[in-house]
Structures are given as structure tokens and as C-alpha cells.
Amino acid sequence: MRDFRELIADGRPHLFDGAMGTMLYARGVYINRSYDEINLRQPDLVTEVHRAYLKAGAEILETNSYGANRVKLAKYGLEEELRAINARAAELARAAAGDRASVAGAIGPLGLRIEPYGPTSREEAHAIFREQIEALLEGGVDLFILETFGDLAEIEQAIRAVRTACDLPVVAQVTVREDGRTAFGTEAASVAEQLTGFGVEVVGMNCSVGPHAMLANVEAMLGATDCPLSAQPNAGLPRDVDGRTIYMASPEYMAKYAARLLRKGVRFIGGCCGTTPEHIGRMRDAVRMLAPGTRRVHLHAGESAPEEKAQVPLAQRSAWGAKLARGEFVTTVEIVPPRGSDPTAVLQGVQLLKTAGVDGVNVPDGPRAQSRMGALPTALLIQQRVGIEAVLHYACRDRNLLGMLSDLLGADALGLRNLLLITGDPPKMGPYPDATAVFDIDAIGLTNLVARLNRGLDPGGNALDQPTRFVFGVGVNPGAEDLEHELSRFRWKVEAGAEYAITQPVFDVAQLFYFLERIEREGLRIPVVAGIWPLVSARNAEFLANEVPGVVVPEAVLARMRRASAVGKEYAVEQGIAIAQEMLSEGLPVLQGVQVSAPFGRIPLALRVFDVLPGWSGVPDREAVPA
């Protein structure tokens, strides 16, 4: 066993191994298997790879445990074997290393989002990492390498978990894009400063980009930390060659860049995806020939954390926000975006809403995953051509974090200020069952993202030129089957900064009152806008009750609509409007607004619901748009 701290202290360059997955794949292990499971099922393959890297000159061997946390193992039904898989990974590396190399317990990201951009709490993440760390310690490791992280909040919990379990050294490595930023947009220099602040022994990068791009990123790190630097680039960017993923950088090319990285001041060099013992062998020659370059560190207090800017006051962000800020009752109608690219019919209906004096138009984002115009361009057309504010529903389903960031910055620049942040329906609920979803973050994470943008910071903590001016709300379901879970998620949304909430369609006033009483008692009360849906038939009611996620229609309402439909279509419509008006009338004392859905696009029916509002005059000629 070699003491890794001695390698840190001696001031010389040292060599990590290369890719484990690449080598197992080359030995016939299919990519649909858990590579961590190979420790138990085919340990000889893992030992062969370790020995090949040791022979090539590696001084630090990483355990085959990158994905061996409970979350990732559960995808293969292997979570109950977590301890055995990790302990065996350490034992195999330990046996191969002997006294010639150090053994690094390899730990990768959990494969899920943690707060503030995901539902997993920091403490939950800490516990998951701790479980894997303890199993690797049981097998006998000399240090830990935390690698390929894109979220600094997540790697911080992994570091904490190591520190609470042992006092072994930690190598902390992030992965960045070619622009030198993490997936959350944090710049390389800021990464180095923050990792240093977390108290690790070695700071660095791995994966994602080839050696050329990593060289530029390491240069950005040089003056931002006094920790030794590490670099483990891929063998170039992957390419598809006859159906196989191939990394094109040759061993000679990798060795050339290893020498450049060492001259810049990198102390620990190695390889990631696509690298082999041949790559490491050539890199060994560079390590032996060169001593690390000297570098000067420039650390200035406060530079690593840009200051938040003051939020624009709520009343100044939009007319909708101004009414909320004054405690006034807001009215809005939900319409669906047009099918196809012609918005004429939708805009005619919206003009009727403006004439009626409705405060805003709610535009759902891909309702039930249907094939319609995007909500963002629909909202923009409404504001530009009709002159009434839109409340843009923005869903997490179809975009990754960076895509959402781009959309939101663009929306702010275009004057779309009012947002309802939702997770979104899975595509399989729409007409395209083979469509895929992203769900990179959920509504809680999106709320945190928008709150940061309003304070002038992007997800990576980088300062924006100016804060965004969003009035942002969240969805909530007072009739959720698991109300405690719903309340828990609502709490996280409120704590993230949500400024109002819009409920799912309400058909049970007692249910609504109970929900409002609960959030009042628990200190979670923000302005609540009730969703109201005028039913048009028993069939419509049955559909909402059984096929629309999150909508609860009580049996009493279903029975009432069945009796009405038995009388006739017109009577059923009248009863549906009456039910909606009753919901609104009874809820008025405790609500700050109402969102009325226009059933099947029939805006005049939606407007009739407002007749119970005190002082509501409505539209003189409601027949301007056919019902």
C-alpha cells in the first residue's frame, strides 16, 4: 500500500489509470449490464484490467465502483448487493495494486437531481453517498476520487459523506463542456475555488472533453486554487463508427497533451472514457520526463461568489404581479395553443377576453402532451397582437436544464413576465406513446432556477447582466390522493420562492377549504388562484375524473352531471356552469383569484362563470365568438 498523502507532498507528477468501462466493453461486457456488478460475477475481468494499467505504469488504481450507489444499482435490481459490490471492487483493486499503487475508491454522481433543482434533499444525497463510502472502506481503499460531477451541490454532499466516514484524502473532479462550464453553467475558476473551499486535497476535471479542451479549462483553474490539480480527459470526443462508439485520440496524441498539462502545473494525470493501458503507457513517459510547472495562485475574498442583485419589486414586474402585490382579486382564462401554425381563431377568442376585462390568459405548455403550437410563442403572440398579459405555463418535460435557462432568458427579454412552473405530463399520456421526456429537473427545481434568475444569478452562480423580472407561481392539487406528499412538495416550492399558486380544477369546496386551512396553519400561505372548469356533459366529467392527471371530480358532481345529461345537452351545459359558479362563489372569501378553463375552446362558457363576481359586467355581445 502506498500512502497517497506522500504522493501529494512530494511535488512530483503522478499517474492515474484509464477507463474501466472501455476495457470491460472491449472484453465483451454489453452496455446494458451494470459494469459494477462485474466485480461479483466476473471478477477476473476486473482484475485483468487493473493489472494491465499497473503494468502500463499507473500509480493510482480506481475501483470499479463508479456507478455503485443505491440509486443506480436499483435500475438493475442490484441495490441489495451494494455493500458486496463496493467491498469487492476495493478488494480486487487492492489485490492487484499490492504495494505498488494506491487504491482510489471511485464514486460518481447519483444519477438524480438534488435540491434546489431536484426532489432529493442534501441529507438524502449525503446518506446515499455515505452508504457506498462505508462499503468501499470495508474493502480497503487509500483515498476517494469523486469524479464526473456537474453539480457542485451534489459533490459537496459526497465530500461531506467522506469526511463523516473517515479522514482519507479526497480527489474531487468535475466534468465540464467545451466552453469550460459545468452543466449548471459554473466556470472552471469558480469550480476550483468552491472545491477548495469544501476542503479536498486535490481539485480537477475528468471526462466530457478531450485533452485539447481540458488544457484550456485547466488553465482557467490554475490561479484559483492552492490545491494540487488533476486532469483525466477522454480520448477525444466519441464518434459513431459502424454502430460502435469510438474514441479517436491516439496514445501518442494523449501523451503529447499530458506533457502540456503537466507543464501547466497539473500534478495528477490519467485518462477517462476511451483510454486504454496503451494510452496510460505513453502518458507514463511524459510523467517521467517532466516535473510539474510552477503556478501562482490568486485568491481574493468574495470573487468566487457573485453577489445577488436586488429583485425588482413584484408590483413593478407586470400588471398581474401588481394586482397580486396589492392583494386584489385576479381573473384569468385558460386557453389551449392552436393546432398548427395559424393562431387566428385563438387570438379572436383572446380578444373577447380582453374586451371582457379579464386580467390574463393562461397558456398551458403542451396540454396532455398534445401536438400544438408551443406555449411560449403562443403567449408572445397573445401579448403582441391582442395586448393582454399571458400567464405562461412552463413545463420541465421537454427540455434539459440549459434549454430551460435559454428559454427563460429569452422570455424575459421578450416581455413574457408571468410564469406558472409545472413538471408536465409524461408524453405517453398524449397521442405519441413512443415520444420521450427529459424531466432534467422538476417543478421544485425550476422554481429555484427562476428565483435565482430574479436575483441575477444563473444556475452555476454566475452573475447575469441584470435580474429577470418574472412573476412566478406553481401548481398545486388540493384533491391529491396523498395530500401529505402534495403539501411537502408545496412547502419546497414556497421555500424556493413561489409567489402564487394555481390549483388543479376544483369541484369540492370543502376539499379546497381544508387545503387552505392546512397551508395557513403551516405558514405556507401565498396567494392562491383556484382552477375552475365548467363541465359540459357527463362524458366530459367522466373523462376529467378518470383520464386527466391530478383532477378529482367527486361522485356527487358526477351524479349531478349524469342526471343533467339525461335531460339534454343544453341542460348539461347549464348545470356545468352552475357547478363552476357555485365553486367560485363559495371560495371567494379565501381566494385571491380564479383561473377558468375554456372547455373545448368555448370562451363564452368560461366568461359566464365570472357572472358571480361582485361588480363583474362581462361582455355585452358574448356571441361574438361562437360557443
Q: Residues for the chain: how many in total?
A: 627
Closest listed residue to residue 594, CA positions, set 410, 381, 332 = 332
The percent of the chain in helix, strand and coil, each rounded to the nearest 5, is: 45, 15, 40
- Model confidence over 327-343: pLDDT tens digits? 999 999 999 999 889 99
111 Ramachandran zone, left/alpha/beta (phi>0; psi -120 to 50): left
| pLDDT at 507 exceeding the cut of 90 | yes
pLDDT of residue 199: 96
Task: Enumerate the β-bridge partners of residue 419.
Answer: 392, 472
pLDDT at 119: 81
Higher pLDDT, 206 or 624: 206
312 and 469 Cβ atoms separated by less than 8 Å: yes
Task: Please return the burial class of 167, using the count of CB atoms within 10 Å of its CB with bins 0-12, 13-18 and 19+.
Answer: exposed
pLDDT value at position 619?
Answer: 53
Confidence category of residue 482, pLDDT binned at 50, 70, 90 = confident
Determine the average pLDDT of the residues in 416-422: 97
Q: Are 126 and 160 in contact (CB under 8 A)?
A: yes
Cell of 265: 502545473
Which of 557, 511, 554, 545 shows the shortest CA–CA distance to 530? 511
Q: Are 204 and 231 in contact (CB under 8 A)?
A: yes
Q: For residues 205 and 261, is the Cβ–Cβ distance under 8 A?
A: no
Rounded to an integer, the average pLDDT of 244-254 is: 71
Q: How many CB atoms lie within 10 A of CB 196?
A: 19
Q: What confidence score (pLDDT) does residue 397 get? A: 82
pLDDT for res 400: 86
**What are the cell numbers at 184?**
449548471
Residue 246 has pLDDT above 60, yes or no: no
pLDDT for 301 equals: 40
Query: Higher confidence at residue 54 or residue 623?
Result: 54
pLDDT tens digits for 99-140? 999 999 999 999 998 988 888 899 999 999 999 999 999 999
Closest to 106 measured CA to CA, from 207, 190, 236, 218: 207
Average pLDDT over residues 322-330: 96
CA distances from 601 to 109, 348, 392, 536 (A): 45, 11, 17, 12
**Grid cell 481503499 in the structure block, residue:** 141
Q: Looking at the predicted structure, is the pLDDT value of residue 303 above 50?
A: no
Q: If you average pLDDT over every residue of the chain, what do you get?
A: 89
Grid coordinates given for 522: 403551516
Segment 162-217, tens digit of pLDDT: 999 999 999 999 998 878 889 888 999 999 999 999 999 999 999 877 788 888 88
CA 262 → CA 202, 223, 419, distances in Å?
Answer: 15, 15, 49
What is the average pLDDT across 415-432? Answer: 77
Least confident among 323-327, 521-525, 545-549, 578-582: 545-549
pTM for this entry: 0.72
Per-residue pLDDT at 245 = 53
**Quick one: pLDDT at residue 435?**
57
**Given the DSSP bridges, would you call strands 528-532 and 593-597 parallel, antiparallel or unpaired?**
parallel
Q: Is the pLDDT of residue 241 over 90?
A: no
Mean pLDDT of 289-296: 52
Is the pLDDT assigned to residue 367 strictly greater than 90?
A: no
| Least-confidence region, from 19-23, 72-76, 251-255, 571-575 | 251-255
pLDDT of residue 300: 41
Check whether 439 has a pLDDT greater than 80. no
Angstrom distance (rounded) from CA 247 to CA 237: 6
Give the list of residues 6+ apart from residue 75 with CB closer than 8 angstroms, or none.
34
Domains and CATH numbers, the chain: 4-289 (3.20.20.330), 333-536+584-609 (3.20.20.220)
SS3 state of residue 93? helix
Where does the pLDDT of residue 3 fall: very low under 50, low under 70, confident under 90, or very high at 90 and above? confident
* Whole-Å CA distances, 122 to 2, 42, 415, 459, 505: 33, 35, 35, 17, 33
What average pLDDT does this structure show over 355-372? 82
The mean pLDDT of 222-234, rounded to a whole number, is: 93
pLDDT at 553 (0 to 100): 92
The strand pairing partners of 385, in sequence order, are none
Q: Which of 182, 71, 197, 83 is nearest to 124 (CA)?
A: 71
The 10 Å Cβ neighbour count of residue 28 is 8
